[in-house]
Amino acid sequence: MKNLRYILVLCSIVVSLSLSAQQQSAMRINEYLVTNTSDFQDDFGQQNAYIELFNTSYGTVDIGGCYLSNDANNLKKYAIPRGDVLTKIKPRQHALFWADNQPFRGTFHVNFTLAESDTIYFVSSDGRTIIDKIFVKKDLPDNVTFGRTEDGIGSNCGCGEGWQVMDRTSPSTNNAGVDAESKSDRMYRVDPYGWIMTITAMSVVFLALIILAIIFTGIAKVSVKRGQEKATKAAEVKGEAAPKAKAEDYSAEAFAAISVALHLFIEENEAHDEESFTITLQHEARKYSPWSSKIYGLRQTPQLKK
Amino acid sequence: MENILDNLVQFWQFTGFANCNFQYLIMILIGLVFIYLGIKKEWEPLLLVPIGFGIIIGNIPLFPGLQVGIYEEGSVMNILYQGVQRGFYPPLIFLGIGAMTDFSALISNPKLLLIGAAAQFGIFGAYAIALALGFTPAEAGAIGIIGGADGPTAIFLSSRLAPDLMGAIAVSAYSYMALVPVIQPPIMKLLTTQKERLIKMKAPRAVSQTEKIIFPILGFLMTAFIVPSGLPLLGMLFFGNLLKESGVTKRLAETARGPLIDIVTILIGVTVGCSTQADQFLRGSSIKIFALGALSFVIATTFGVLFVKFFNLFLKEGNKINPLIGNSGVSAVPDAARVSNHVGLEYDKTNYLLMHAMGPNVAGVIGSAVAAGILLGFLA
């Protein structure tokens, strides 16, 4: 029992740790620009390299306390300040960091540049876990970004599948154009009369309930069989013949007669409790004791004595 | 004296009398009819009385900017309305429903689950007709769910798919749920023969507690894996049932099916009623929604009954199902099952169908939650 408690405590610690890591682990390096001569400007009116992060989750992620680095031997190179409301990245939104080596300019200015970097690391707040790592493509033309074709999707090396030289830069916004057509509009275009939806949906409803019906038919068979086995065993112990009658063998009228008889018996013997039309057949495991009564655990109401 | 008169004139302009028009009066009248039906006719009084009074509250003509109207951000009514708008009342109600529902009838005869599936045709029939009437697919989905005969599900889905139509959809869903004893019997009688109505079904077998405990767990896993978008409703429904059947969480089960569901029912009823402000509610679309709602109940009942007749073709003599329980596939629990029982007794005074009808009835709850999940997945 004691061991079981330890295991439970351990499990909850592991779960809570993984939850916090899970949130930050939803962040991805999404796009970067190495040489910026005529592209997006920062708040100081300057054009510099930038790194865009993307929150792939559907919950807000606070990246305060996480790290950005370009050095595998110093993963804590730039600590993203804690307590800045802007580091709370909303669901499916972006954060843009300027790689201008001017950290004194604010939270979103890191202390290295991309021209001097081969790799960019986004590191968890524990300072050890690398959440995302990409190799910097140095041969990009000026003012051309390299990024994920679709936000947050693709390999975690900054190359290969899901990465491409972007047709246009998209700092702090979606890499692929957002689909303007809503699900409802698309459904209307594909299925203006509703037949496809009706057939699909009804098939799914039937499928779900048929699976459930099959499973419970199986369980019912097992349960009935076990019940019969128990009854046979009990009868064998008493030295009687195994009972053959099943619940179905009795008519509804028989059940009604039994219920009425019980009701009358309880009424006549004044064994009726406070619930009308309810027969309570409950085993009282522990009799009342003032020591187990909660009322004795309550503090007495103070009374003024004169 | 002049100042007093000015004040009185100004006060008059604040009053409901000065801001009143015939639309508000119509809505107040509708609210009074709901209260009358709830109290005098006892048609779903737990729903119609709060909704009816909510309609009256919501249609008191207001001087705009007083921060008391349900659509005025930050007002008390608006805060209470968040449970409807953000959809957290319906799952809480499902928790209570789960804690008060006995799935024994269904577990003892699992094939009754299929009747609950068949009745969901009401949802998609109404969806197709709504599309033909010019509603968008999202609006049509929200309107179609009225055919599930499940108020919380209707509110949950319409708050996501068509918030503008939610008031009309919710009022329509609850009204027709109250009218189940009026709508269903003629269809049931029309579609069945005398011989079919007299079919006596086997008494359900006793279900072990183990089966009752396994049902909510497996039921949830199966349905949620197939339709994850129905998670809030299915999760709470089966969780509530586990509280009831586990036998060790009696207090939690009692709270869920007692005080909790009562509180949420009051809040959902009043705020849904309030949301029917005349300017939002009295529109051509509302009339269409009411017509489609009625139609969806008719389709659901028809398909439920016809499905049982079809199903009987494959069942051996002695195992056949009385088609009068086909109407119970809609999830108006337990009214639809009661209707099956009443109509059955009209033809045979010894044929009690209530327990048999409870099977498809609770299957309808699961079916409509699954259907809502599908609509949400496709259209949200």
A77 vs A282 pLDDT, higher one:
A77
Q: What is the pLDDT of residues A107-148, one digit of tens each?
A: 999 999 988 888 999 999 999 899 999 898 888 889 999 999
Average pLDDT of span B55-77: 86
Q: Is the pLDDT of residue A241 over 80?
A: no
B267 vs B62 pLDDT, higher one:
B267
How high is the mean pLDDT of chain A?
Answer: 81
In whole angstroms, give the CA distance from residue A207 to residue A296: 56
Domain count, chain B: 1
Confidence grade of residue B237 (pLDDT, cut at 50, 70, 90): very high
Statement: the pTM of the whole predicted model exceeds 0.80 = no
Non-local (6+) Cβ contacts of A236 within 8 A are A242
Whole-Å CA distances, B160 to A218, B154, B224, B266, B375: 38, 10, 19, 22, 10
Q: What is the pLDDT of residues A154-207, one digit of tens each?
A: 877 767 788 888 888 889 888 876 666 788 888 888 899 999 999 999 999 999
Chain B nearest C-alpha distance from A3 (Å)? 23
Q: Indicate whether B348 belongs to any domain.
A: yes
Domain boundaries, chain A: 23-178, 181-244, 250-285
Partner A contacted by B310 (CB < 8 A): no
Q: Is the pLDDT of residue B189 over 90?
A: yes
- The pLDDT > 70 percentage for chain B reads 100
Phi-psi region of A173 (alpha: psi -120 to 50; beta: other; left: phi over 0): beta
Interface test with A, best of B103, B104, B120 (most A CBs within 10 A): B120
Interface test with B, best of A181, A185, A187, A197 (most B CBs within 10 A): A197
Q: Indicate whether B24 belongs to any domain.
A: no
Whole-Å CA distances, B4 to A12, A96, A261, B11, B14: 68, 62, 77, 10, 15
> Given this model, what pLDDT does residue A272 score?
57
Q: Indicate whether B214 belongs to any domain.
A: yes
A253 vs B contacts (CB less than 8 Å):
350
Query: Coil, helix or strand for B100?
Result: helix
Partner A contacted by B107 (CB < 8 A): yes
Confidence grade of residue B15 (pLDDT, cut at 50, 70, 90): confident
Is A208 within 8 Å of B223 when comparing Cβ atoms? yes
Domain span including residue B209: 88-379
Q: Would you state the structure tokens that stand for residue A155, as one six-digit string?
A: 């390999």
Q: Of the candidates A74, A58, A15, A53, which has an alpha carbon nearest to the alpha carbon of residue A131?
A: A53
Pairing state between β A78-79 and A88-89: unpaired
B106 vs A contacts (CB less than 8 Å):
216
> Given this model, what pLDDT does residue A242 score?
58
Q: Indicate whether B42 belongs to any domain.
A: no
In whole angstroms, give the CA distance from residue B340 to residue B345: 9
Q: Is the pLDDT of residue A299 over 70?
A: no
Chain B nearest C-alpha distance from A84 (Å)? 28
| Cβ count near A228 (within 10 Å) | 14
How high is the mean pLDDT of chain B?
Answer: 90
Please report the ipTM that was assigned to this predicted complex: 0.87
CB B357 within 8 A of CB B341: yes
Non-local (6+) Cβ contacts of A42 within 8 A are A48, A98, A100, A105, A109
> Given this model, what pLDDT does residue A16 score?
54
A246 vs B contacts (CB less than 8 Å):
205
> Given this model, what pLDDT does residue B19 score?
81
A211 vs A154 pLDDT, higher one:
A211
In whole angstroms, give the CA distance from residue B24 to residue B37: 20
Q: Would you state the structure tokens that stand for residue A279, as one six-digit string?
A: 């027969």
Q: Would you state the structure tokens that stand for residue B26, as one six-digit string?
A: 């119509």
Is B202 within 8 Å of A248 when comparing Cβ atoms? yes
What residue type is assigned to position B366 of the chain?
I
Q: Indicate whether B111 belongs to any domain.
A: yes
Chain B nearest C-alpha distance from A254 (Å)? 11
Whole-Å CA distances, B235 to B223, B369, B373: 9, 10, 12
> Given this model, what pLDDT does residue B70 score?
87
What φ, ψ does residue B134 adopt, rounded to 5°? Answer: 100, 5
> Given this model, what pLDDT does residue B345 score?
92
Q: Indicate whether B100 belongs to any domain.
A: yes
In whole angstroms, give the CA distance from residue B159 to residue B84: 7
Chain B nearest C-alpha distance from A233 (Å)? 18
> Given this model, what pLDDT does residue A177 score?
67
Q: Of the candidates A128, A130, A129, A173, which has an alpha carbon nearest to the alpha carbon of residue A30?
A: A173
Non-local (6+) Cβ contacts of B265 within 8 A are B46, B47, B50, B93
> Given this model, what pLDDT does residue B305 score?
95
Q: Is the pLDDT of residue A298 over 60?
A: no
Is B128 within 8 Å of A220 when comparing Cβ atoms? no
CB B223 within 8 A of CB B230: yes
Query: Coil, helix or strand for A32?
Result: strand
Confidence grade of residue A260 (pLDDT, cut at 50, 70, 90): confident
Confidence grade of residue A295 (pLDDT, cut at 50, 70, 90): low
Q: Is the pLDDT of residue A265 over 80?
A: no
Pairing state between β A163-165 and A49-55: unpaired
Highest mean pLDDT among A10-24, A68-82, A155-169: A68-82
